[in-house]
Amino acid sequence: MAVVAVLLSLHLPGVTSLKEKRAVVRSLVERLRSRLNVAAAEVGLQDELQRAEIGFATVSEELATARRLAEEARRFADDELLGKGEVIGTEIDEFVLDSAR
């Protein structure tokens, strides 16, 4: 089993209130969950106005498949943020668990 976990750092320059920020972030998280079937959540910087951190993870039998799904989700986030913000940082961790245990 392979897991790819991704942390996206976002810059939301047009946001003027926490309510507006939460709407942008919540929309992105929900779309990642529903369209790409990844586990996703806002995981940091909740009280900063124009910054956010979103984490998501993919799980697959093959590492290559998990990587492909994570990259697809990363591109999807870029597309969803057009005109609202941008991804300014990406951290990726990969875990491979041996099924022979």
Question: What CATH number did the domain enclosing 22 receive?
Answer: 3.30.70.1120
> In angstroms, rounded to a whole number, what is the distance separating the alpha carbons of residues 11 and 24?
11
Q: Where are the alpha helices (DSSP H) in 37-85?
A: 63-81
Look at the alpha carbons of 12, 17, 23, 26 in this order and tell me if their dihedral is positive or negative. positive
- How confident is the model over 26-84, as pLDDT tens digits? 999 999 999 998 999 999 888 889 999 999 999 999 999 999 999 999 999 999 998 88
| 91 has pLDDT over 80 | yes
**pLDDT at position 100, please?**
60
Which element (helix H / strand E) includes 33? helix 18-36
- Considering the entire predicted model, what is its pTM? 0.87
Residue 4 binned pLDDT confidence (cut-offs 50, 70, 90) = very high
**Is residue 101 assigned to a domain?**
no
Residue 44 in 3-state DSSP?
Answer: strand
Domain holding 20, by residue range, is 2-96
Question: What's the number of domains the chain is made of?
Answer: 1
Is 81 within the bounds of a domain? Answer: yes
